[in-house]
């Protein structure tokens, strides 16, 4: 009986870990463009696809992306942008839809971002999220 419980517990732990793990090798590459900034390149993308849920009216997951300062603040589960490291940033995992449960915009709630848009967001973060 005891070994059965160990098996069940191990199974639950393994599936919980699998849910958290994302395959960053599936991320689209960062754009080659230099001098990417929030104001010039990123804000228009977020305004179109994100701000209705992460802006002045609603802050789903305690996240706002309607200004640079707000985007760099922690959400419910910690930072969403790791400056210089787009592959480690959960915002990038979300918009690249690596995990359908945490994909942004959520399934059926707006058009997924294009590979080019995700690449631009990656370049922005890799260049220091300015
Ligand atoms: C229709 C509403 C809606 C839209 C549009 C939307 N989100 Fe979200 N977002 C949510 C909700 C709800 C949560 C909280 C999910 C949870 O806590 O399980 C969330 C959570 C998040 C998270 C936190 C996930 C994490 O890693 O902790 C990030 C990052 C995020 N959104 C980014 C974005 C970005 C960027 C866009 C635009 C490309 C966007 N969202 C568009 C509703 C939305």
Per-residue pLDDT tens over the stretch 106-122: 999 999 999 999 999 99
Quick one: pLDDT at residue 21? 77
Q: How many CB atoms lie within 10 A of CB 89?
A: 21
Tokens read off for 110: 């707006």
CA 113 from chain centre, in angstroms, equals: 11
Residue to mutate (ligand 1; options 105, 116, 117, 125; most atoms within 8 A of CB): 105
CA of 129 to the centre of ligand 1 (A): 19
Q: Which of these, 67, 68, 58, lies nearest to 105 by C-alpha position?
A: 58
- Spatial contact of 111 and 50, defined as CB atoms under 8 Å apart: no
Tokens read off for 60: 């789903």
- Spatial contact of 63 and 54, defined as CB atoms under 8 Å apart: yes
Ligand 1 pocket at CB < 6 A: 46, 49-50, 52-54, 60-61, 63, 65, 75-77, 80, 90-91, 94-95, 102, 104-106, 109-110, 113
Tokens read off for 93: 């995992």
Q: What does the pLDDT look like over 46-59, one tens digit per residue?
A: 999 999 999 999 99
Quick one: pLDDT at residue 6? 60
CA 119, 122, 124, 126 dihedral sign is negative
Quick one: pLDDT at residue 9? 58
Quick one: pLDDT at residue 10? 63
Task: Give the dihedral of Cα atoms 103, 124, 52, 58; nearest 10 deg.
Answer: 90
Atom of ligand 1 nearest to the CA of 80: 29
What is the residue with the minimal CA distance to atom 11 of ligand 1? Answer: 60
Atom of ligand 1 nearest to the CA of 52: 5
Can you give the C-alpha Rg of the chain in angstroms?
17
CA of 95 to the centre of ligand 1 (A): 9
Q: What are the pLDDT tens digits along the chain (130 aa)?
A: 666 666 555 655 554 444 467 999 999 999 999 999 999 999 999 999 999 999 999 999 999 999 999 999 999 999 999 999 999 999 999 999 999 899 999 999 999 999 999 999 999 999 999 9
């Amino acid at each position: 009986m005891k070994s059965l419980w160990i098996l069940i517990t191990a199974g639950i732990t393994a599936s919980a870990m699998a849910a958290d793990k994302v395959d960053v090798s599936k991320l689209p590459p960062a754009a080659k463009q230099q001098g990417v900034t929030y104001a010039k390149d990123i804000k228009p993308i977020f305004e179109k696809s994100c701000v209705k849920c992460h802006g002045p009216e609603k802050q789903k997951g305690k996240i706002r992306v309607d200004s640079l300062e707000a985007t760099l603040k922690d959400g419910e589960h910690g930072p969403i942008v790791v400056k210089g490291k787009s592959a480690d940033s959960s915002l990038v995992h979300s918009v690249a839809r690596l995990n359908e449960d945490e994909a942004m915009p959520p399934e059926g709630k707006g058009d997924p971002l294009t590979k080019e848009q995700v690449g631009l967001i990656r370049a922005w973060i890799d260049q220091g999220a300015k």
